[in-house]
Structure 1
Amino acid sequence: MIVLTGGGTGGHLNIVKCLLESAVKKNLDCIYIGSENGQDKAWFANEERFKTKYFLSSTGVVNQSKLKKLKALKQILKLSFKCQKIFKEHSIKAVISVGGYSAAPASFGAIFARIPLFIHEQNSKSGSLNSFLKPFSKSFFSAFEKEVIPYPVGENFFTLARERKELKTIIFLGGSQGAKFINNLAIKLAPMLKEKGVKIIHQCGREDYELCEKAYKELNVNVDLFAFHNDLASKMKEADLAISRAGASTLFELCANTLPTIFIPYPYAAKNHQFFNAKFLQDRALCQIFTQEQCQNEMTFLNSIFTMNLKYISQKLQGVTQKNGADLMLERVLNSL
C-alpha cells in the first residue's frame, strides 16, 4: 500500500486524482493524506477508491509572519509523528507527494520513518517545500526538468482533443478558484467578441458567478457561464482558443486537448512560476503570453486573438505531452521499491 499526499489547490489535486486512477488500474491500494484546509476535503472526502483518507490540521508556511511560520512548522512536526503511526498501521511502502502545504506532514513523516519519498513538482519553478525535500527524496518527477516524465493529465483531455482551424468559440479559464482579472477581461471583451460572431465559454469560479451572470445579462451577451465544471475537457473541446492563467495542470490539460492559448500568468504566484510555466510553450512558439498590464491595451489583445495560427499550434501541441504520465510515474515508483 502507498500514500498519496498533497493538495490545497486544484492543480495539485488533479495530479492526485490521475495517480489514483492509475493505481486503481494496477490494483494498487492507496490512502490519501491531505489537509482540513484548502480544497482537499471537497475533492476527496467522498472518494471511495482510497482505502481510507486522513485530513489533518496542516496550514501553509509561505507568506506568513515569523510567528505564524513557527506555529505552522511546529504543527507540521507534530503531524509528521501522527503520519508515522498511520504508515505503520497500514504497512505503507512508499509516499508520493504532489506538493502543496498539505503534503508536508506525510513527507516529513516518510523521511523520519525511512520510507521512500517520491515527489512530483508540477511547476517550472519548484515550490519551497519540494525544494527543501528534494535531496531527501528517492525520485523527483517533473515535466519541466532534464529527467522528464509526462505530466499526469486525465485521459479525457486527450480523447476529446481536436485540431482547431477557425475561431468560433473562446473559453476563459481562471483556474479552479476563478480569477477576478480574467473575469473582468472576459466581460470587457464580450461585446466585441459578440460583434465578431465569436461565442464565449467562461469558467468564473464560485465567488464571482453572480456578478458575471449579471454583467453578461446587462450586456445582452449569451455566454456558457459556470463556476466550476467536473468535465472541463468537454468544455475545452467546444473551444478554438483559450484565455487562461498558467497553472501547470491547466497548461498541460490545454496541451493534451491541443487547444491554442493566450496565457495571462498570475503575477503574484510564488517565484513567478506561472510565467515560467507558460514560457515553456512560448519558447516553442506554441502560445502567447500577456501580462495583466499588457491586457489593458484591448486592441492589441484582440488583434492577438484573431491573428493566432490556430491550426499550426493545435497540430504542434500534440507532441508536447502524452497520456500515460501517471502510469509511468507509478511504474517507476514500484520498480524502485
Structure 2
Amino acid sequence: MQRRIIIAGGGTGGHIFPAIAIANALKKIEPETEILFVGAKGKMEMEKVPQAGYRIEGLDIAGFNRSNMLKNLLLPFKILKSLSQASKVIDTFKPDAVVGVGGFASFPVMRKAQKRGIPTLIQEQNSFAGKANMSLGKKAAKICVAYEGMEKFFPAEKLIMTGNPVRGNITQSAVSKEDALAHFGLRTGKQTVFAVGGSLGAKSINEALAPILATFVEKDIQLIWQTGKPYFETAKAVAAPYASHVKVYEFINVMDFAYKAADVVVSRAGALAIAELCVVKKPVIFVPFPFAAEDHQTFNAKSLVDKKAALLIKNDDAAAQLGNTLFSLLQNNALLQQLEENIEKLGNKNADMVIAKQVLALIK
C-alpha cells in the first residue's frame, strides 16, 4: 500500500533539516511512501528540499514581524490566502497523514488537515512550544518532543519523547579529527574553537569574536568561524592578519568536519544546533538569540545548563564575557570533560526513525 504524507513547515535550517531527516527515515522504512513538502515561498526550504530530492509546494505566508509592525497589516490576508492554498494542496495530494515541523507553512496545512479529519503529528523541537503548535496540539494525534516537561503546553497523553532528528551526514560521519583539521587548513595538536551562529550568522557572536582574534594567536588557539552572509566581508578583513589561526567561512556545508575539528563550540541555541551538539558530544557555550519566538532559545539552552551539560552567555553580555569564558574553559580540563560527558547523555541518533515509525502508525 502506497502511503502519501505531507511534511509542512520550514523557514530556517532548524526546521528544514529535521524535516528532511524524517522524510529520509520514512523512505528507509517504506520506500514506496510518496512525500510532499509544503513550505513558505521565498524561504530556504524552497531551495534545500529539492536539493534533497523531494517535491515542495510553496504557500504565500509570512510570520508576525516583530521589528516592522507596518508589515503585519497584510498578515490576515496572507493567512487567509495560505489557508486556501493549503486546502488546494491537500485536495490534490490527498495525504494519509500530515507532519508539522514548525515554521510559517506548518500552521495552515495542519489546520486544514485537522478540519478534514486527516491524522496529524507535531514535531515540536523546542523546550518552549510556540502558540501555533499549542493550538494545533489539541487536535493532533501525536506530539513528538525533545524536552521534558512539555505537558505544560500539550495534552500529556499525546506526548512521545523522541528527541530531535539530526542529519545523517552528522550521525553517520566517519571523518577523523586529523582529516577534519586538514580540511580547514589547521594543524593537529592545537586547541580549536568552532563558532557558528546558525544558517544566517549571529551578530553578537561575530562582534564579540572580532576584537579578540589577536588573543587566539597569542594563546596558539585555532578558530573556525562561520559568520553568515551579512558579516562575512567584515570578518574576512578583520581576520586577515591572523590567517594562520583563524579561518573564516560564510557558511559551512560539511558540519561534521567542523564539529570533529573542534574542542569547544560557540553557538546559538536553536533546537537543531543543540540536537547536533548532543550527538557529536562537544563542550559548548550557548549565546541564545533573544528575539526567537517566546525566547525559546534561552529556554532550550537553560535546559542543558541545568544538567551541567553546557555554559550560557546572554546575547547582550557576549561582547564583555565571551573571550574570558571561552579561554578559561579551554584551560579547564575537568570542566571540559564534565560538559562532554553530560551533553553526550542527551544525544539521540535515532530520533528520525522513531518519529517516522510514529507517523506510519497513524495510517491504518
Tell whether the structures are fold-level matches, with TM greater than 0.5. Answer: yes
Distance of 1:195 and 1:66 partners within structure 2:
46
Tell me the CA shift for residue 252 of structure 1.
1.1
Which residue does the alignment assign to 2:324?
299
TM-score computed with the length of structure 2 as normaliser: 0.84
Distance of 1:14 and 1:87 partners within structure 2:
23
CA contact (8 A) 2:310 2:343 kept: no
Tell me the CA shift for residue 137 of structure 1.
1.2
1:275-323 C-alpha deviation (Å, 9 max, x unpaired)? 1101111111111111134331443553244326223322333221221
Amino acid at match of 1:278: A
Among 42, 60, 63, the residue aligned to 1:37: 42
Distance of 2:52 and 2:169 partners within structure 1:
19
Please list, as runs of the form range in 1=range in 2, the aligned pairs for 1:1-337 lying within 5 A after superposition. 1-26=4-29, 27=31, 28-48=33-53, 50=54, 52-61=55-64, 63=66, 69=72, 71-146=74-149, 147-160=160-173, 168-219=191-242, 222-295=245-318, 296-297=320-321, 298-307=323-332, 309-337=335-363
In structure 2, the CA distance between the partners of 1:65 and 1:132, relative to structure 1 (3 Å rule), is farther
In structure 2, the CA distance between the partners of 1:54 and 1:272, relative to structure 1 (3 Å rule), is same
CA contact (8 A) 1:60 1:101 kept: yes
Q: CA RMSD in A?
A: 2.4
Amino acid at match of 2:357: E
CA contact (8 A) 1:167 1:241 kept: no
1:158-214 C-alpha deviation (Å, 9 max, x unpaired)? 3348999x9710000111100111112222222112211111001110121111001
Distance of 2:361 and 2:39 partners within structure 1:
25
1:11-31 C-alpha deviation (Å, 9 max, x unpaired)? 011111111211221212200
Which structure 1 residue ranges, 5 or more long, are not aligned? Answer: none
CA contact (8 A) 1:84 1:113 kept: no
In structure 2, the CA distance between the partners of 1:67 and 1:300, relative to structure 1 (3 Å rule), is closer
Tell me the CA shift for residue 238 of structure 1.
0.6
Percent identical residues: 28
- Secondary structure (helix, strand or coil) at the match of 1:101 reads coil
- Secondary structure (helix, strand or coil) at the match of 1:284 reads coil
Distance of 1:281 and 1:47 partners within structure 2:
31
CA contact (8 A) 2:122 2:133 kept: yes
Distance of 1:162 and 1:262 partners within structure 2:
24
TM-score computed with the length of structure 1 as normaliser: 0.91
